[in-house]
Amino acid sequence: MYNRNEIIEENNLTYVDGISAGDAYNWAEIEVYYSKEKRRYFWLSGTGCSCSSLWEEVRSIEDLCNGSRKNAADALRAFVADNKENGYGDISFATSKLLGN
């Protein structure tokens, strides 16, 4: 795993939004960032257990999804819907800046 903070700093990413659910053993998480230079949003999401992390497979900014603000908001909506179905019922109470709740 590369250093999460290095990737964020090297690419001047600003944290915009994120949602996490689960407990100490199982987790589901999404993080959204914005790059002023690239004028794009970048995000990653995943699920795992206590032995893994969201950034575990990330080596560079190319490993992140990217797109417009709408694309990032759509990714957040899909993340909530998918993970609610997968047993993370508490995720429906998540708040999100991009989604306006």
pLDDT in tens, 25-81: 888 889 999 999 999 999 999 888 888 888 988 999 999 999 999 999 999 888 888
32: its two tokens = 């959204």
Is there a domain that residue 98 lies in? no
Is there a domain that residue 83 lies in? yes
Is there a domain that residue 97 lies in? no
pTM: 0.85
- The count of domains in the chain is 1
Task: Order the strands of the 26-35 sheet from edge to edge.
Answer: 13-22, 26-35, 40-49, 65-67
Domain with 50 in it: 4-92
Is there a domain that residue 33 lies in? yes
Is there a domain that residue 32 lies in? yes
Is there a domain that residue 100 lies in? no
Phi, psi for 15 (deg, rounded to 5):
-65, 130
- Residues 73-96: what's their mean pLDDT? 73
